[in-house]
Chains A and B, each alone.
Chain A
Amino acid sequence: MSVYIKVSNLTKKFKGRTVVDELSFEARRGEVFGLLGHNGAGKSTTIETLLGLKKADGGTAEVLGMEPEKHRKEIFERVGVQLQSSNYQSTIRVGEICQEIAALYKNPADYRILLKRFGLEAFEKAQVNKLSGGERQKLSVLLALIPQPEIVFLDELTTGLDTAARREVWRTLKELKSEGTTLFLTTHYMEEAESLCDWICLIKEGKKIAEGTVQELIAKSPYANLEEAYLWYMGEEI
C-alpha cells in the first residue's frame, strides 16, 4: 500500500511551549487514520502543521509525496479539508457555499449529486445557520468532498453533536470508507475510532504514546476495550 501521508519528527512550538513533539507516523492509501488524544493534546495543531497552515519548527511532512508548503496548490486540488469548528458566512445558503467552494477547484464534483447522497437536497435553498448540528457537519464532510479528493482531513468532526447526529455522521464516513477514500481524522470519541479507524495513533502533549490497529492497541494493554486501553496508555486508568 502506498504511503499517502508521511510525517517525520514534526515539531511545533508556541511561545516556547512544545505542542507537537517529534511526531512521526504514516497513513496509507485507502486507510482511515485516526489521531487520538485529549483536548489540547495537539491534534489540531498536528493537522494544521502537516498541511502547512502553520510553519513547523522541525521535522517534515509530506502529503501525496509533496511538501505542503512548497506545493500548496497541487496538494489542495487533491485533498479535502474540514478544519475544527469552522463556520460559514452568516447568511449564506447551502447551495451558495457549495458553489463558492466548487468554484475554487479545477474539477469539482457536482455538488447536487453530493447533496442528494447526503440527504441534504431539500436544504439547498436553506441558510447554513438554520441547519441542525448533524446536518451542518454532514455539509462539512460534503464540502471536503467537492474537490473529488484522494484524501479527506476531518478535524473533530463529531465534537458537540448529540448521539443520533454523531451516528449519522459516522454512517456517512463509513460509506466513504467503503468506497476506499483515505480519511485522516482526529477525535476523542473512542467509539468513533473503534468503528471507523484502520490505524490509530495516540498522542499526549504532542508526543506519540502508541500506534497500531484497534485490536493491537487493546491487545498490548491489560484491558479488553479501547476506552479503557486508551486511558491506560494515557496513564489515567481508574
Chain B
Amino acid sequence: MMKRFLKVYSIEQKLAFRSADGIIFGICMPVGIMVLIAMIAGEKVAGNQGYTYLDGSFASLIAVGICAAAFMGIPLTVADYRDKKILKHFFVTPCSPMLLLGTIFLCNMVTAVLSALAVTLTAVLGFGYRMVGNPVQFIGAWVLTLVSMFSIGLMMASVCRTVKSANAITSLVYFPMLFLSGATIPFELFPEGLQKISSVLPLTQGIKLMKTASMGMQTEKNGSIVLLLLGITLVCCLISVKTFRWE
C-alpha cells in the first residue's frame, strides 16, 4: 500500500512541479516580496512594538506558501480531477480515490515546505535575519496554521461542484487572505479599521501565532488562537467529508 502511494505520489509531484502555478504563487512570490520588503524597509521599525519590518514579515511571508497551497493548490486540483473523472476512475481500480487525494495533500504540503525553506534561506542568508523566538514553537505554529488552512482548502474542494465554481471561490478566498491577512502587505501598515476586518480572516490568526512565536512574544491571546485554529480544522474537515462528491 505504501509503495502504491509513493509511486502515485511521485508522479503527481512531477505534475505539480511541471505546472508553474505552485512555484510562482507559492515560492517565487513570497521570496520576491521578502526581497522587496527587506530592501525598502528591512531595518525600519514596524508599528510601535519595537521590531523591524523584516522581523515582522518573516512569519507572514512563510504563510504565503500555505495560502497558495491551501486556497489554490488543493481546491483547484481536486475540482479539476473530479471534472476529468480521474477521481472516479480510481473507484474502478483496487485503490480508493482517497489514495489520490492523499497524494494531492502531500504535494501541496511539499509546496508549503519548499516555500518556507526558500523564504527562510533568503531572509537568513540574504538579509541576515535571525529568529528571536523559539524555532520549535514557530514550527508548531506553522504546522497548526498549515493543517487548519488545508482543512479550509479541502472544504472548498468539497463544496465546489465544478471547475468554474472552484475558480470563483478560490479567487474569492485566496486574494483577500493573501492581501488582507498581513501575509504580503505588513499588517502594521493597515489602518485600525482594516486591522479589525483583517482579524476575522483565519489566516490572520495563524500568522499572528507564527509571528509571536518567531519574535518570542508570549501573549495571553495565543491560547485562544490555538483553540480557534483547532476548531476551524475540526469543522472544515467535517464539512468536507460530509459534502464530498467523487463526481
Tell whether, in the assembled complex, residue A104 and residue B95 are in contact, meaning their CB atoms are under 8 Å apart. yes
Tell whether, in the assembled complex, residue B88 and residue A53 are in contact, meaning their CB atoms are under 8 Å apart. yes
Interface residues of B in 54-110 (CB under 8 A from A): 80-81, 83-86, 88-95, 99
Flag B1-34 by CB within 8 Å of A: 1 or 0 each.
Answer: 0011001100110110011000000000000000
**Inter-chain contacts of B83 with A (CB < 8 A):** 87
Tell whether, in the assembled complex, residue B7 and residue A87 are in contact, meaning their CB atoms are under 8 Å apart. no
Question: Among the interface residues A79, A99, A104, which one has the most CB atoms of the partner chain B within 10 A?
Answer: A104
- Counting CB contacts under 8 A, is A106 at the interface? yes
The residue in chain A whose Cβ has the minimal distance to the Cβ of B77 is A89
Tell whether, in the assembled complex, residue A85 and residue B85 are in contact, meaning their CB atoms are under 8 Å apart. yes
- Counting CB contacts under 8 A, is A90 at the interface? yes
A106 CA / B93 CA spacing, docked (Å)? 11
The residue in chain A whose Cβ has the minimal distance to the Cβ of B92 is A81
A106 CA / B95 CA spacing, docked (Å)? 11
Tell whether, in the assembled complex, residue B84 and residue A76 are in contact, meaning their CB atoms are under 8 Å apart. no
Tell whether, in the assembled complex, residue A90 and residue B80 are in contact, meaning their CB atoms are under 8 Å apart. yes
Which size class do B's interface residues fall under? 20 to 34
From residue A191, how far is it (CB to closest CB) to chain B in Å? 27
The residue in chain B whose Cβ has the minimal distance to the Cβ of A79 is B92
Tell whether, in the assembled complex, residue B92 and residue A89 are in contact, meaning their CB atoms are under 8 Å apart. no
A148 CA / B85 CA spacing, docked (Å)? 22
Tell whether, in the assembled complex, residue B84 and residue A86 are in contact, meaning their CB atoms are under 8 Å apart. yes
Tell whether, in the assembled complex, residue A88 and residue B86 are in contact, meaning their CB atoms are under 8 Å apart. yes
Interface residues of A in 79-122 (CB under 8 A from B): 79, 81, 83, 85-92, 96, 99-101, 103-106
- Counting CB contacts under 8 A, is A51 at the interface? yes
**Inter-chain contacts of B90 with A (CB < 8 A):** 104
Main secondary structure of the interface of B (DSSP, over half): helix
From residue A198, how far is it (CB to closest CB) to chain B in Å? 23
Choice from A79, A83, A100 contacting B8 with Cβ under 8 Å? A100
Known A96-B11, A96-B14: A105·B85 in contact at CB below 8 Å: no
A171 CA / B18 CA spacing, docked (Å)? 35
From residue B53, how far is it (CB to closest CB) to chain A in Å? 38
A138 CA / B85 CA spacing, docked (Å)? 18
Tell whether, in the assembled complex, residue A92 and residue B15 are in contact, meaning their CB atoms are under 8 Å apart. yes
Tell whether, in the assembled complex, residue B94 and residue A77 are in contact, meaning their CB atoms are under 8 Å apart. yes
**Inter-chain contacts of A70 with B (CB < 8 A):** none
Tell whether, in the assembled complex, residue A87 and residue B85 are in contact, meaning their CB atoms are under 8 Å apart. yes
Choice from B8, B14, B84, B99 contacting A88 with Cβ under 8 Å? B84
- Counting CB contacts under 8 A, is A73 at the interface? yes
A77 CA / B93 CA spacing, docked (Å)? 7
Flag A162-202 by CB within 8 Å of B: 1 or 0 each.
Answer: 00000000000000000000000000000000000000000
A90 CA / B88 CA spacing, docked (Å)? 16
**Inter-chain contacts of B80 with A (CB < 8 A):** 90
The residue in chain A whose Cβ has the minimal distance to the Cβ of B99 is A104
The residue in chain A whose Cβ has the minimal distance to the Cβ of B246 is A53
A100 CA / B104 CA spacing, docked (Å)? 14
Tell whether, in the assembled complex, residue A83 and residue B18 are in contact, meaning their CB atoms are under 8 Å apart. no
A81 CA / B95 CA spacing, docked (Å)? 13
Choice from B15, B88, B99 contacting A89 with Cβ under 8 Å? B15
Known A86-B84, A92-B11: A73·B92 in contact at CB below 8 Å: no
**Inter-chain contacts of B93 with A (CB < 8 A):** 76, 101, 104-105, 147
A40 CA / B137 CA spacing, docked (Å)? 59
The residue in chain A whose Cβ has the minimal distance to the Cβ of B95 is A104
From residue B189, how far is it (CB to closest CB) to chain A in Å? 39
Tell whether, in the assembled complex, residue B86 and residue A105 are in contact, meaning their CB atoms are under 8 Å apart. no
A77 CA / B11 CA spacing, docked (Å)? 21
Give the 7 A-B CB pairs with smallest separation, nearest first: A87-B84, A103-B7, A81-B92, A86-B85, A104-B95, A104-B93, A73-B94
Instruction: Give 20 A-B contacts (CB < 8 Å), ordered by A residue.
Output: A53-B92, A76-B94, A83-B89, A86-B86, A86-B88, A86-B89, A87-B83, A87-B85, A89-B86, A91-B15, A96-B11, A96-B14, A103-B7, A103-B8, A104-B8, A104-B90, A104-B95, A104-B99, A147-B93, A153-B92
- B interface residues, Cβ below 8 angstroms from A: 3-4, 7-8, 11-12, 14-15, 18-19, 80-81, 83-86, 88-95, 99
- A interface residues, Cβ below 8 angstroms from B: 51, 53, 72-74, 76-77, 79, 81, 83, 85-92, 96, 99-101, 103-106, 147, 153
Seed contacts A86-B84, A91-B18, A106-B94; 19 additional CB < 8 Å A-B pairs: A51-B92, A53-B88, A72-B94, A76-B92, A83-B88, A85-B85, A86-B85, A87-B85, A87-B86, A90-B80, A91-B15, A92-B11, A92-B15, A103-B3, A104-B8, A104-B94, A104-B99, A147-B93, A153-B92
